[in-house]
Amino acid sequence: MSHPDIDEVRRYFMALQDRICTELSQQDGKATFMEDNWQRDSGGGGRTRVLTDGAVFEQGGVNFSEVYGDSLPASATASRPELAGRSFRAMGVSLVIHPHNPYVPTSHANVRFFVAEKAGEPAIWWFGGGYDLTPYYGNDEDVIHWHNIAKQACDAFGDTVYDDYKRWCDEYFYLKHRDEPRGVGGLFFDDLNTPDFDTCFALVRSVGDSYLSAYQPIVQCRKDTAYGERERDFQLYRRGRYVEFNLVYDRGTLFGLQSGGRTESILMSLPPLVKWRYNWQPEPGSAEARLYEHYLKPRDWLN
């Protein structure tokens, strides 16, 4: 099938949001996701769900949105000028989970679908998405598990898919002004529209469905690890890098703001507490230094 089934994509995305919220709420054991349904003045809307001050998760947001309009914003056409002037429909699920415990990494995931149309010409459609992991105190076992699940999600779609999407993730989630990765990577892909709709949609479902399998075991293993003021302080400092990336580079944030999306939903990805320090450097030989020396280095974690 080459013609996209928008209704089928919508049903999957909304069911994925339901499933992730249910399972993360159960894992937290204290807080549940509150829901806001919102409408966009120029077309579309969404369903924002946010969990705050849980037993495990300090804040988590899992959003579904579907917006449409007469022309794509600049963030969507910067690398594809042929799309300028086309009407569009964009939908997806985006989530960011910020845990309390500094030994539990922050995680992000996103799956999205775009259709761009122009009278008299065939519609152009594509998928994008992926997920990445941002530890504060890294653990090799966790990172290898994360990448193993990511590779399993890709394996049925080609021998090089995981390697290609891992490399793309390493390159995308990179803070150029800091000359460092945001975390230990995962998967990232965009402009996916070959060989056909069914295959592309199956890959997106495989990635979306694998997120909980990748993240929940890590949370379960690390959520009760003892920590003190030093670890918490470092977590808040490193969260600043997350804020910098999302506000300076993230395409989803830029698209949402430029397309007139709901600001509260777009910025739910930001952590509730964060610190910046002037020219701070970790103590040589410390656990904090190990994050920079061992984990914030793109590498083949599976070999």
The pLDDT value recorded for residue 74 is 61
CA dist., res. 254 & res. 270, Å (int): 14
Question: How many domains are there within the chain?
Answer: 1
Q: Taking residues 83-101, what's their average pLDDT? A: 90
Q: Taking residues 18-30, what's their average pLDDT? A: 98
Residue 300 lies in a domain: no
Residue 1 lies in a domain: no
Nearest-CA neighbor of 266 among 16, 63, 106? 63
Nearest-CA neighbor of 48 among 96, 89, 107, 90? 96
The pLDDT value recorded for residue 83 is 74
% of the chain with per-residue pLDDT over 70: 96
The pLDDT tens digits of the residues spanning 124-138 come to 899 999 999 999 999
| Position 78 confidence tier, pLDDT thresholds 50, 70, 90 | low
| Position 60 confidence tier, pLDDT thresholds 50, 70, 90 | very high
Secondary structure class of 101 (helix, strand, coil)? coil
% of the chain with per-residue pLDDT over 90: 78
Domain with 211, as residue range(s), is 6-295
- Cα diameter, the chain: 63
How many Å from the N-terminal Cα to the C-terminal Cα in the chain? 37
Selecting among 100, 108, 145, 294, the annotated active-site residue is 108
Q: Write out the binding residues.
A: 94, 98, 108, 110-112, 147, 177, 260-262
Residue 159 lies in a domain: yes
The pLDDT value recorded for residue 252 is 78
Instruction: Name the DSSP letter for residue 288.
Output: H
Residue 93 lies in a domain: yes
SS3 annotation, 9-49: HHHHHHHHHHHHHHHHHHHHCCCCCEEEEEECCCCEEEEEE
Residue 244 lies in a domain: yes
Residue 303 lies in a domain: no
Residue 302 lies in a domain: no
Q: Write out the binding residues for a divalent metal cation.
A: 98, 108, 147, 177
Q: Taking residues 29-56, what's their average pLDDT? A: 93
223 vs 121, which has greater pLDDT?
A: 223
CA dist., res. 144 & res. 241, Å (int): 23
The pLDDT value recorded for residue 4 is 87
CA dist., res. 31 & res. 60, Å (int): 10
Asked if 108 is an active-site residue, the reply is yes
The pLDDT value recorded for residue 1 is 43
Give the up-direction half-sphere exposure of residue 187: CA atoms within 13 A in the CB hemisphere. 30
The pLDDT tens digits of the residues spanning 141-195 come to 999 999 999 999 999 999 999 999 999 999 999 999 999 999 999 999 999 999 9
206 vs 74, which has greater pLDDT?
A: 206
Task: Examine the pLDDT at 75 and tell me if it is beyond 90.
Answer: no
Q: Are 237 and 44 in contact (CB under 8 A)?
A: no
CA dist., res. 95 & res. 129, Å (int): 11
Does the reported pTM lie above 0.85?
Answer: yes
CA dist., res. 237 & res. 198, Å (int): 43
- Domain of 291, CATH number, reads 3.40.1500.10
pLDDT averaged over the chain? 92
Residue 201 lies in a domain: yes
Q: Write out the binding residues for substrate.
A: 94, 110-112, 260-262
For residue 66, what are the β-bridge partners? 45, 91
